[in-house]
Chains A and B, each alone.
Chain A
Amino acid sequence: DTGVSQNPRHKITKRGQNVTFRCDPISEHNRLYWYRQTLGQGPEFLTYFQNEAQLEKSRLLSDRFSAERPKGSFSTLEIQRTEQGDSAMYLCASSFFTSYEQYFGPGTRLTVT
């Protein structure tokens, strides 16, 4: 299967802990996006990479959030000092540079207790 994969699928953590999520995009895709989705809403853009360069970050992404894409392959999203408001589904998507079409992974469901 060459789709987008995300790990872990579910994460339960206590407030104040740090968490890290991983995304493996479709191998030929050079663009990688992170979105956040809360229950009953559409996904909201968080950040975007073209190859290894992080080119845009949403104002939703506070200083507690950091994302990397070393070597332009997989990406990680870290949340430090988690808060209950961080509870959401974190989605990763990838695409070709020239395409509007993004392909999503299954997401990581984060619950902060």
Chain B
Amino acid sequence: TQLLEQSPQFLSIQEGENLTVYCNSSSVFSSLQWYRQEPGEGPVLLVTVVTGGEVKKLKRLTFQFGDARKDSSLHITAAQPGDTGLYLCAGPDRGATNKLIFGTGTLLAVQP
């Protein structure tokens, strides 16, 4: 069974601080995706990482895929209240459907 564990589960920080969210598995994933979800809404795709060791930047967000493709991290620089939300990592199941296996989620609150 492929599982994705995220840490921390909850994070409450002040505006301007930096933070890192981790997504770990004992299984290899062909790719990992990061989503952000706001209350009452569906997840919004932020990025997909495919190659081991890959680093992608999206403004103040930096995503890294581990060399062995078993883990990923999301680093936010100078967090803003608009970054508040549930951050989810997800990877495709090994089967043919590409159904996503989601991580346990990290709930981020950025206080102004």
Chain A interface (Cβ within 8 Å of chain B)? 4, 6, 31, 33, 35, 40-45, 48, 55-56, 91, 93, 95, 99-107, 109
Q: Is B90 an interface residue (CB 8 A)?
A: yes
Known contacts: A42-B88, A42-B105. The answer to whether A48 contacts B97 by CB under 8 A is yes
Bound form: Cα–Cα A44–B30 in Å: 19
Question: CB < 8 Å: which of B30, B42, B48, B103 contacts A42?
Answer: B103
Known contacts: A31-B98, A56-B99, A95-B98. The answer to whether A42 contacts B45 by CB under 8 A is no
Q: Is B44 an interface residue (CB 8 A)?
A: yes
Are the C-beta atoms of A45 and B45 separated by less than 8 Å?
Answer: no
Chain B residues numbered 36-72 whose CB sits less than 8 Å from any CB in chain A: 40-45, 48
Question: CB < 8 Å: which of B41, B88, B95, B98 contacts A107?
Answer: B41
B15, chain A: closest CB distance, angstroms: 24
Interface size on B, residues (CB 8 A): 27
Known contacts: A31-B98, A42-B90, A56-B99. The answer to whether A102 contacts B104 by CB under 8 A is no
Taking chain B's interface residues, is the majority helix, strand, or loop, or is none over half, making it mixed? Answer: loop
| Residue among B41, B43, B90 with the highest chain A CB neighbour number at 10 A | B43
Closest to B96 in A: A55
Are the C-beta atoms of A100 and B43 separated by less than 8 Å?
Answer: no
Known contacts: A42-B103, A42-B104. The answer to whether A56 contacts B98 by CB under 8 A is no
Bound form: Cα–Cα A106–B38 in Å: 10
